[in-house]
């Protein structure tokens, strides 16, 4: 359904002396997701996860530049296509609550999203009430403005808004942030259900355990680079993970007793090499100079000179 080849996203900035240069936030990213599949994109804060979703919708900030090929249902995505498909065939559960219109009651916002994505105006209100029920929100919530919602309610409204229509690709950016475990489980279960029914889901999250509960495959982001793509079942502590960064992420989980600590945010390479170089026990000068190519390994792939 979605195929991304060599995606790079850079931001222009000015250094001392007003010299303009570009900082790459995503580098040479390849990724694909098929219908009936949940692909989890995991990584620390600043890894480039939200940028990926925004690139697919054509809503990157103005100072961003993009290169690479994005293909949706076999057709190359142009900026014009992105604007047309947004909300109709590709829907986003945004990370930020600011995507809710503060001046519109939330029921109207959900119903509008349904209509944009192909639900008839007659059926959209009934669908809105069903969506609210699915996320255990009472009917009266439909008449509230966003500022009258709790954080968890707003998160569920964003999920209801993105999943109510007929979009075939759902980009879920941190859909469980701020939810208690039971409600988060329901949201994840619904996303899995949508994939089982034929949609493709890109689940963006820093919560590996949540990702593993529904994902088929996992892509690990580090400093704007996909360092590994693995089957969800490879995250089981039996040494199947291929990249030192994926292993470090796994070892840093609370359930693993915080075996290792990680830097506070995703490491970034300024030299164009591997972003994990300064934290990796195996790093050599080769890792600093060049980004390793993608190697297929044990039914997954990895970008590491030493794998
Ligand atoms: N408008 C911008 N100008 C310059 N840099 C930006 C801009 N927007 C994002 N970035 C940078 O791009 C990188 C990736 O940001 P992104 O929001 O995709 O991270 P993320 O992986 O979603 O993190 P989080 O888990 O905290 O949501 C960060 O280093 C961020 O500072
Ligand atoms: Mg983000």
pLDDT single digits (tens) 137-153: 999 999 999 999 999 99
Measured CA to CA, the distance from residue 89 to residue 245 in angstroms comes to 34
pLDDT surpassing 80 at residue 255? no
Looking at residue 262, what is its pLDDT? Answer: 73
Q: How many DSSP H helices and E strands does the chain contain?
A: 9, 12
Q: Which of 103-112, 245-254, 291-300 has the highest mean pLDDT?
A: 103-112
Range list of β-strands (E), the chain: 2-15, 19-33, 38-42, 64-72, 75-76, 90-93, 169-173, 200-205, 217-222, 225-231, 295-297, 300-302
pLDDT at 178: 87
Ligand 1 centre and the CA of 1: distance in Å?
Answer: 26
Domain-embedded: residue 137: no
Measure the CA–CA gap between 218 and 233, rounded to whole angstroms: 9
Largest Cα separation within the chain, whole Å, is 64
Give the DSSP letter string of 218-275: EEEEETTEEEEEEEGGG-SSSS---SHHHHHHHHTSGGGT--S---SS----SSSS-T
User: What confidence score (pLDDT) does residue 257 get?
Assistant: 66
Query: Which residue is closest in CA terms to ligand 1's atom 3?
Result: 11
What is the percentage of the chain residues whose pLDDT exceeds 70? 96
Take atom 14 of ligand 1 and give the residue whose Cα is closest: 48
Query: Which positions ≥6 away from 166 have C-beta within 8 Å?
Result: 88, 89, 117, 118, 119
Query: Rounded CA gap, 129 and 10, in Å?
Result: 41
CA 122 – ligand 2 centroid, Å: 35
Q: How many domains does one find in the chain? A: 1
pLDDT at 217: 96
pLDDT reported for residue 261: 67
- For residues 173-190, average pLDDT: 92
**Residue located via tokens 């931001």:** 11
Label residue 128 by pLDDT band (50, 70, 90). very high
Please state the rounded mean pLDDT for residues 85-91: 93
Rounded Cα distance, 306 and 210, in Å: 29
What does the pLDDT average to over 288-296? 88
Which residues lie with the beta carbon below 6 Å from any ligand 1 atom? Answer: 11, 25, 43, 45-51, 61, 63, 95, 206
Domain coverage including residue 227: 2-89+167-302
Round to whole Å and give the CA distance between 296 and 292: 12
Q: From the alpha carbon of 265, which atom of ligand 1 is closest?
A: 26
Q: Is residue 133 part of a domain?
A: no
Whether residue 84 lies inside any domain: the answer is: yes
DSSP letter for 86, please: B
Q: Is 268 part of a structural domain of the chain? A: yes
Instruction: For residue 11, give the ligand 1 atom closest to its CA.
Output: 4
CB atoms within 10 A of CB 120: 9
Q: Which ligand lies nearest the alpha carbon of 223?
A: 1
The best mutation among 23, 25, 211, 266 to test binding of ligand 1, ranked by most ligand atoms within 8 Å of the C-beta, falls on 25
Q: Which two tokens stand for residue 195?
A: 């994939």
The CATH number linked to 260 is: 3.40.50.300
Q: Is residue 246 part of a domain?
A: yes
pLDDT at 191: 96
Higher pLDDT, 199 or 264: 199
Q: What is the pLDDT at residue 190?
A: 93
The answer to whether position 158 is within a domain reads no
Find the mean pLDDT for residues 251-271: 71
Confidence check: pLDDT of 263 > 90: no
Ligand 1 binding pocket mutation candidate from 46, 267, 268 (most atoms within 8 A of CB):
46
How many angstroms separate the alpha carbon of residue 65 from the centre of ligand 1? 14
pLDDT of residue 50 exceeding 80 = yes
So what's the pLDDT on residue 149?
Answer: 96
Judged against a pLDDT cut of 90, whether residue 276 lies above it is answered with no
Closest atom of ligand 1 to CA, residue 54: 18
Q: What integer best gives the mean pLDDT of the chain?
A: 91
Tell whether 142 is covered by a domain. Answer: no
pLDDT band at 281 (very low <50, low <70, confident <90, very high): confident
CA distance 27 to 24: 6
Distance 289 CA to ligand 2 centre (A): 28
What 3-state class would DSSP assign to 30? strand
Residue 258 is predicted with a pLDDT of 61
273, part of any domain:
yes
Instruction: List, as own/partner pairs, every contact residues 299-302 make where C-beta atoms lie below 8 angstroms and the sequence separation is at least 24, other chains included.
Output: 299/231, 300/228, 300/229, 300/230, 300/231, 300/234, 300/242, 301/228, 301/229, 301/242, 302/227, 302/228, 302/229, 302/242, 302/243
Q: How far is the CA of 125 from the centre of ligand 1 (A)?
A: 36
Work out the pLDDT band at 270, boundaries 50, 70, 90.
low
Q: What is the mean pLDDT of residues 285-291?
A: 85
Q: What pLDDT does 260 receive?
A: 66
Cβ atoms 249, 220 nearer than 8 A? yes
In this predicted model, which residue has the larger pLDDT, 238 or 226? 226
Centre of ligand 2 to C-alpha 279, Å, is 23
């Amino acid at each position: 359904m979605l195929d991304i080849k060599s995606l790079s996203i850079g931001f222009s900035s000015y250094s001392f002396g007003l010299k303009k240069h570009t900082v790459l936030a995503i580098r040479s990213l390849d990724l694909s997701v098929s219908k009936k599949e949940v692909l989890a994109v995991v990584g620390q804060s600043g890894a480039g996860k939200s940028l990926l979703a925004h690139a697919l919708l054509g809503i990157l900030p103005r100072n961003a530049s993009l290169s690479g090929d994005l293909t949706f249902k076999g057709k190359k995505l142009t900026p014009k296509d992105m604007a047309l498909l947004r909300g109709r065939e590709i829907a986003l559960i945004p990370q930020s609550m600011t995507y809710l219109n503060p001046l519109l009651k939330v029921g109207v916002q959900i119903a509008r999203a349904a209509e944009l994505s192909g639900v008839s105006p007659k059926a959209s209100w009934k669908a809105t009430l069903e969506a609210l029920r699915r996320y255990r929100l009472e009917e009266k919530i439909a008449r509230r403005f966003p500022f009258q919602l709790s954080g968890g309610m707003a998160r569920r409204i964003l999920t209801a808004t993105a999943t109510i229509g007929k979009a075939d690709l759902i980009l879920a950016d941190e859909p469980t942030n701020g939810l208690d475990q039971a409600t988060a489980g329901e949201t994840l279960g619904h996303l899995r259900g949508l994939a089982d029914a034929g949609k493709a889901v890109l689940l963006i999250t820093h919560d590996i355990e949540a990702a593993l509960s529904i994902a088929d495959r996992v892509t690990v982001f580090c400093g704007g680079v996909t360092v590994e793509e693995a089957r969800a079942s490879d995250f089981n502590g039996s040494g199947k993970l291929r990249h030192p960064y994926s292993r470090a992420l796994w070892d840093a989980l609370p359930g693993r007793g915080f075996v290792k600590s990680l830097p506070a945010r995703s490491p970034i390479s300024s030299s164009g090499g591997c972003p994990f170089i300064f934290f990796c026990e195996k790093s050599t000068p080769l890792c600093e100079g060049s980004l390793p190519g993608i190697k297929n390994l044990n039914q997954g792939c990895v970008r590491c000179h030493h794998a």
